Copies of this chain bind each other. A is one copy, B any other.
Amino acid sequence: MVKIGIVGASGYTSSELMRLLVTHPRNLKIELVTSETFTGQRVDHVLPNLRGFIDLNFESLEIQNLGNQVDVVILAVPHKVAMGFVPQIRNQGIRIIDFSADYRLNDQLIYEEWYGIDHTDPSRMQNTVYGLPERYRDLIREANLVANPGCYPTTSILPSIPIISKQLVELDQIIIDAKSGISGAGSKPKDTTHYPNRESNLIAYGLASHRHTPEIEQELSAINGDKIIVNFTPHLVPMTRGILTTLYFKLKQPMSTQDLLDIYADFYQNEPFIRILDCGEYPQTKSVLGSNFCDIGLEVDPRTNRAIVMAATDNLMKGASGAAVQNFNLMFGYDETEGLMSPGLMP
């Protein structure tokens, strides 16, 4: 039996993780969930959807005792806090899946520039596996520390890999216009997540400064080794879950929509959670709601010779906790899809 600890369990990535783990078919156990906010409260009082599925109270974290209790820690604390915990947890021999941004970037200077703080564990950041199975599946299997990707990066990188990999595009004209549901902003109430501020409202934010930008650029640059800089503009859309990215690529040579779709379909033919849509179909967030899929569709505009590629994910699933379970499955030798292979909740 695999014993799991979830540290910092009061947020959405943790609640979604619990939702998945309580019905996971393998012999595993959520051994403890820690939350300083909810210490002592029943998990199913805070998360009433889990009533009947979990019989635990939130605990206060005693980091030095984790080694006696769990085989793996899902670390769901903010960046900066995470890099304080990781060394102590790793020293106890526990494997870690980290939801924070602290180990996603492998360049310390870029991290410090975008996050505005010193990295206190820089040697480890260079060796951490970026938890995108479609890119690093084999490394993840062996990893002791997996940096779970950000929701925007996953939904931006996956639709970019084939077209960049095949060297079809001008690398200095990549524009990513991303739209996200509100749950991406976390479970803690603030002005920007206040219902009346978001309902029937639409706004861009983080222009030219969103911290997922260097993460996207690192992974796009790694595809062929060419340095890539992108325009990344996120928007807040009045819905709870879901990310839709619209990517604009300038093609080097004219090609048809169908030909480009064929390249994508071929490239991803063995990926269990990537679905390439047919010509004329476009991804929509509801098709993947509550599921681990990334749906990708595209259209070539012959007038401008640009490919418009779109991807949809559930930001809490393929964009966070579904990906974490996928990584967990890989790390513990299970089939990658276990506990994850269900259709989106539609309508």
Binding site for B on A (CB under 8 A): 12, 15, 19, 22-23, 45, 47-53, 172-173, 175, 177, 179, 181-183, 187-191, 193-205, 207-208, 229-231, 233, 235, 237-242, 244, 246, 248, 275, 277-278, 281-291, 293, 295, 299-304, 306, 308, 310, 312, 341-347
Contacts and interface: CB of A to CB of B under 8 A. Distances in A.
Contacts of A291: 49
A278 B200 contact: no
A343 B49 contact: yes
B347 A12 contact: yes
Contact of A303 (B50, B229, B285): B229
A289 B239 contact: no
Nearest to A42: B278
A248 B310 contact: no
Contact of A195 (B45, B193, B302): B193
A244 B238 contact: no
6 contacts: A182-B199, A194-B194, A195-B199, A200-B242, A208-B303, A289-B345
A144 B221 CA distance: 57
B237 A238 contact: yes
B207 A244 contact: no
A258 to B, nearest CB: 14
Contact of A49 (B202, B205, B287, B303): B287
A290 B287 contact: no
B241 A200 contact: yes
